[in-house]
Chains A and B, each alone.
Chain A
Amino acid sequence: MKRYAYYPGCSTESTAIGLGLSIKAVAGPLGIELEELEDWTCCGSVQYGSLDELEAILVATRNLALAEKKGLDLVTPCSSCFITLTSAGLQLRKNHLLMSQVNEALAVANLEYHGNVPVRHLTEVLASDVTTEVIASNVKYRLNGLKVAPYYGCQLVRPDYGFDDPDFPRSLDRLVESLGAEAIPFPLKSRCCGGTLVIPEEDMALGLIRKLLDNALENGAQCITTPCPLCQINLDAYQSRVNNKFKTHYNLPVLFITQLIGLALGIDAVSLGLNTNIVSPGRVLDDILGAGQEASHGA
């Protein structure tokens, strides 16, 4: 078992509960142990940094300090948490005055941070530590013939923290292929879904979401997969809003990559939180279960 400190991020307990559940379900079978930070707090995300750029670094660092006590790499499945925590760590290493001020403030909560926590995205851990070979060797139901659009979103790969190409990344494609599915060409794979602005600027965001759905479909996708909680909710929950606005008929399931992996590992749909997806992934499930039955008949 490889051990990691685990920072789930707020959304894995709510809007992206399917992500939180499916991570817990696949971690054991894939040989990783995720030790959740006790008492973790929100990283602050871009929102905090846009209201107070320095205080934002402090609130993110509280979690880095909790992780440093464990002496393990810190893993998060949320792209926004990933860049917020990574960036806070980098800024503190460059700015010694800020580091000492942050530590003075952390001290009132009996915490300290020395700048030694590697922050890693779960996608990187799956692709680089677990490896696609090990995932492939654990697959029970190969997702043969399933055409999947691998959607990275922005903050998994940008700004460039170095684990994949920031414009045309491949790690998620490789994860999809390790399950036996086909990662279709998806030119907009790292373009923006509209993020949080889907709430105050819905029309603008719906336009971006439509482009992504359209690009996935015209390349033959039967479903989209993403590791990002915000991308998932925008593409999944707002798909009906896109249909209302543009008089379209999209009905494209959007699965978290850990849900897709879980299905291939033979984990049941409820444990993977698939009943929390808005656009029903039924068609994908049927294909897989059908193929599974054929395989057992063959044997």
Chain B
Amino acid sequence: MSFVEEVAATHGGENICACIQCGICTGSCPTAGEMEYPPRKIIALIRAGMRGEVLSSSSMWHCLSCYMCTLRCPRDVRPAELAHALKSLASRYNYRIKGTRAPAIYHSFVSSMINNGRVHELGMILRYYLTTNPLVALKIFPVGLKLLLRRRMPLRPHKTSGRRSLARMVKKFREIRGSH
């Protein structure tokens, strides 16, 4: 399967072949300036089969999911959903992403959610800084302290009993997909 076919077979990437390279996605993107490959360019790279360059890139990790590109795309390519699909593929094949720590916050979020049933922000943030750079935490400590003092950063997670049924479902789903 070619790379463009792989992307088109991934949920969120279905419409990639409809792209006419008009560039309205890049023009609408608030973070295009931060990206090595802004949306229009990354679509061109995918269609050129440059799998490694695309999946190891930090570009789609700068997507804020503001959906301005998806709203404006005249061909219904849904570039925001495409960015999710690319991150998902990069995660599945364990690409190491350089140039942004965004993947670490995503992993911290999901692990907090699975452990507690609901996201525990303080736990998520602590795990994020421990796995990236604990020194950076000092910089935003004043923000965290204000949130803590105003009851917006509970120390203990709210562990819902739903977390157990959630974990069972996820395990079963992985078995089902593994057997297909």
Whether B173 contacts A58 by the Cβ 8 Å rule is yes
How long is the Cα–Cα vector from A257 to B67 in the complex, in angstroms? 23
Whether A154 contacts B92 by the Cβ 8 Å rule is no
Question: In whole Å, how far is A146's beta carbon from the nearest beta carbon of chain B?
Answer: 23
Q: Is A134 an interface residue (CB 8 A)?
A: no
Whether A278 contacts B170 by the Cβ 8 Å rule is no
Complex contacts, B119 vs chain A, CB 8 Å: 10-11, 42
> Given A14-B121, A52-B92, A240-B143, does the pair A192, B170 have CB atoms closer than 8 Å?
no
Residues 48 to 84 of chain B near chain A (Cβ within 8 Å):
62, 64-68, 70-71, 78, 80, 83-84
Question: In whole Å, how far is B57's beta carbon from the nearest beta carbon of chain A?
Answer: 14
Q: Is A129 an interface residue (CB 8 A)?
A: no
Complex contacts, A49 vs chain B, CB 8 Å: 12, 84, 88
How long is the Cα–Cα vector from A74 to B110 in the complex, in angstroms? 23
How long is the Cα–Cα vector from A15 to B148 in the complex, in angstroms? 9
> Given A58-B173, A108-B169, A160-B71, does the pair A53, B65 have CB atoms closer than 8 Å?
no
Complex contacts, A14 vs chain B, CB 8 Å: 120-121, 152-154
Whether B11 contacts A54 by the Cβ 8 Å rule is yes
Q: Is B106 an interface residue (CB 8 A)?
A: yes
Return the contact of A106 from the options B64, B106, B169, B177 (Cβ within 8 A).
Answer: B169
Complex contacts, A111 vs chain B, CB 8 Å: 165, 169
Whether A154 contacts B117 by the Cβ 8 Å rule is no
Complex contacts, B172 vs chain A, CB 8 Å: 104-105, 107-108
How many residues on A have C-beta within 8 angstroms of the other chain's C-beta atoms? 66
Please give me the residue from chain B that is nearest to A154 by CB atom. Answer: B66
How long is the Cα–Cα vector from A175 to B1 in the complex, in angstroms? 52
Residues 81 to 139 of chain B near chain A (Cβ within 8 Å):
83-85, 87-88, 91-92, 100-102, 104-107, 109-110, 113, 117-121, 125, 128, 132
Complex contacts, B68 vs chain A, CB 8 Å: 154, 158, 192
| Chain A to chain B contacts (Cβ below 8 Å), 18 pairs | A11-B119, A40-B118, A41-B162, A47-B109, A54-B177, A55-B173, A104-B173, A104-B176, A159-B78, A166-B67, A166-B71, A199-B128, A200-B100, A201-B62, A201-B100, A233-B147, A237-B152, A238-B143
